[in-house]
Amino acid sequence: MQANLDEIIRAREEADCIADAAVVEAALDRMAADITAQLADRNPLIYVVMNGGMILAGQLLPRLPFPLEVAYLHATRYGHALKGAHLDWRMRPTQDLRGRTVLVLDDILDEGHTLLAILDYLKSDGAADVRSAVLTHKIHDRKAYPGMRADFTGLEVPDRFVFGCGMDYKGYWRNAPGIYAVKGL
């Protein structure tokens, strides 16, 4: 196990900083202002996608100065692997969504298959309006559909394996205060 932990430590030490904590804080402020302008009077239900959306939610929700409800769901394609597999629902939404405005918070829009499946599920379960917010949008042309974007995005990141601010490297470094890219990936 120690060799694995040594690799995890080395990955952080060697990583390239894509966005430091100050850049992330500014992006969160912009996201909060945009979300407030569009959803403040909508009584939104915020769904946090676990585990990646947890850090974003903890930093973003206190910046939203209006009444809202918060819940969580857990769907993943990655687990601790570096590449996606099938969608795994670990916790489906449990609230009554009929007629609600729902905002889904997640850490990253990479290819978007997981986020798309979540959004489609919420729409089919009766939500009146479903929106998405991600801290990071990975720049590439492999999205679930051409031009796919979240409704609210904090930062764009290069097409590399990134971690920090909720995104993980082999289950670690979600707690890193900035966004980092693994050397060579």
Identify the DSSP state of 123: H
Query: Distance (Å, rounded) from C-alpha 167 to C-alpha 11?
Result: 14
How many CA atoms, within 13 angstroms, populate the side-chain half-sphere of residue 17? 10
* pLDDT number for residue 3: 56
**Residue closest to 112 by CA, chosen among 103, 124, 120:** 120
Q: Under 8 Å CB-to-CB from 38, ≥6 apart: which residues?
A: 131, 151
- Residues 147-173: tens digit of each pLDDT: 999 999 999 999 999 999 999 999 999
- DSSP assignment string, 19-57: E-HHHHHHHHHHHHHHHHHHHTTS-PEEEEETTTHHHHH
pLDDT band at 91 (very low <50, low <70, confident <90, very high): confident
Full set of structural domains in the chain with CATH: 22-163 (3.40.50.2020)
pTM of the model: 0.90
